[in-house]
Structure 1
Amino acid sequence: MPVSRVEALLFDLGGVVFEFDFERAIQHWARYSALPLREVRERFGHDEPYRQLERGEITAAAYFDGLRRNLELMASDAQIGEGWNGIFGAEISETLDAVAHARKHYPCYAFSNTNAEHQRAWNAAYPRIAATFDRVFVSSEIGMRKPEAAAFAHIAKAIGVAPGNILFFDDLVENVVGAVAAGLQAVQVRSPADVQGALARLDSR
């Protein structure tokens, strides 16, 4: 929990504000693959091309070309994209409600490791995101990803708050560890209750 004064809140999106599951994409792509489902699942991962896409260093078309080769897909970009953008699930309304309440007292920002294709998809699927956060930082726009220290430093400078006075929420432990190493305070989110509890403890201080 926070040990210094909190001046701003920073939230991950996927796994915190909305649900997503890459198994949906894998199941979709397997229909177009010469490989069995098990091997499609084993070959797909958050590899260097995936990270390059999330930093905005390559285009979706270039990334899809790599997927086509790696997963042995007989599929067009549109067919690959249908699976790529089919990963999104339900909005986590309890978290968004908690953020909306917290925003009465703190500026609230979001930071997502994502790409332009996914950004368009979740902007359309979850209109409350734009209405709830003061600003959304996207890795493919700033050219840096969590848990890179430079990414957290960039956001701290952009919002004008010292890293130590930012409270960060993320579902992935590596991002929480990276944020703490970069000087932020951080909470790992396993459920909306983790967000609600942390914000309630802030209110009681």
Structure 2
Amino acid sequence: MTQSPLFPGAADALLFDLGRVVLDIDFSKVVACWAGHAGREVAQLAGRFSWRDEFYQRHEKGEISDAEFFAALRKLLGIELSDAQFLEGWNKIFVGEMPGVAPLLARAAKRLPLYAFSNTNSAHVDHFSPRYADVLGHFREIFLSSSIGLRKPDAKAYDHVVQAIGVPASRIVFFDDLAENIAGAQARGLIGVHVTSHDDVAAALVALGI
């Protein structure tokens, strides 16, 4: 669902989040793997994990290493897994491409430059980059929080990406599955499309005349 008017010719560039927009993710698979290794209940570990955790966010900004993040997880979750076991579970979050998105990106790329902007970490980047190279190949550039040191929905993150793309924010349509990220983008002048399924992407492209 779009929160800003879209019309043919409204955009000079399209900017896509990756998780739940281009790549399908399932955190339950992460926790299930860790619980299996630790001999714990899935619900117990899931209740302790927090996306707002300081170490999680610092990992996504490239401020701490995978090893430091996993050390923080040992304390947070109260389990003694090896780095390899943590990494195994951590990468199980990726379960494939979002259904129907690849042909939409292929179509859009013939008309406008496509970019991606993801809050992610080095371990995930190393994992998903080769496995999903085909669909990711539609993007001229992929901005990663762990590389640029900035995360959505921080204003500086959007400003950095807009400057790098080189067109006015008002001419960039941004697709993301999180309402807070859409709000952050709109506050910096981008056109936001809240994605709940590939139908939202398809509808936006049609509205743009693509």
- TM-score w.r.t. the length of structure 1 is 0.94
Distance 2:28 2:42 in 1: 10
Which residues of structure 1 form unaligned runs of 5+? none
Residue in 1 that maps onto 2:115:
109
1:98 aligns with 2:101: no
Please state how far the C-alpha of 1:111 moved relative to its aligned partner.
0.5
Which residues of structure 2 form unaligned runs of 5+? none
1:130-171 C-alpha deviation (Å, 9 max, x unpaired): 321111110000000111111111011111111111000001
Please state how far the C-alpha of 1:193 moved relative to its aligned partner.
0.8
Does 1 or 2 have the higher relative contact order (CA < 8 Å, sep 6+)? 2
The answer to whether the Cα contact below 8 Å between 1:149 and 1:182 also exists between their aligned partners in 2 is: yes
- Segment drifting more, 73-82 vs 32-41: 32-41
Distance 1:63 1:187 in 2: 32
- Segment drifting more, 139-148 vs 84-93: 84-93
Distance 1:106 1:74 in 2: 48
1:103-130 C-alpha deviation (Å, 9 max, x unpaired): 1111100001000100111112211233
SS in structure 1 of the partner of residue 100 of structure 2: helix
1:200 aligns with 2:206: yes
Residue in 2 that maps onto 1:177:
183
| Same amino acid, percent of matched pairs | 43
Please state how far the C-alpha of 1:37 moved relative to its aligned partner.
2.7
Q: Letter of the aligned partner of 1:26 in structure 2?
A: V
- Segment drifting more, 122-131 vs 9-18: 122-131
CA RMSD of aligned residues (A): 1.6
Residue in 2 that maps onto 1:38:
43
Residue in 2 that maps onto 1:10:
15
Distance 2:161 2:65 in 1: 24
Distance 1:5 1:154 in 2: 21
Distance 1:73 1:158 in 2: 41
User: Where do residues 1-205 of structure 1 align in structure 2 (5 Å cutoff)?
Assistant: 1-2=5-6, 5-33=10-38, 35-46=40-51, 47-203=53-209
- TM-score w.r.t. the length of structure 2 is 0.92
The answer to whether the Cα contact below 8 Å between 1:18 and 1:91 also exists between their aligned partners in 2 is: yes
Q: Structure 1 residue runs of 4+, over 6 Å off?
A: none
The answer to whether the Cα contact below 8 Å between 2:59 and 2:66 also exists between their aligned partners in 1 is: yes
Distance 1:93 1:38 in 2: 28
SS in structure 2 of the partner of residue 32 of structure 1: helix
The answer to whether the Cα contact below 8 Å between 2:6 and 2:207 also exists between their aligned partners in 1 is: no
The answer to whether the Cα contact below 8 Å between 1:33 and 1:71 also exists between their aligned partners in 2 is: no
SS in structure 1 of the partner of residue 175 of structure 2: strand
- Segment drifting more, 186-195 vs 38-47: 38-47
The answer to whether the Cα contact below 8 Å between 1:34 and 1:72 also exists between their aligned partners in 2 is: no
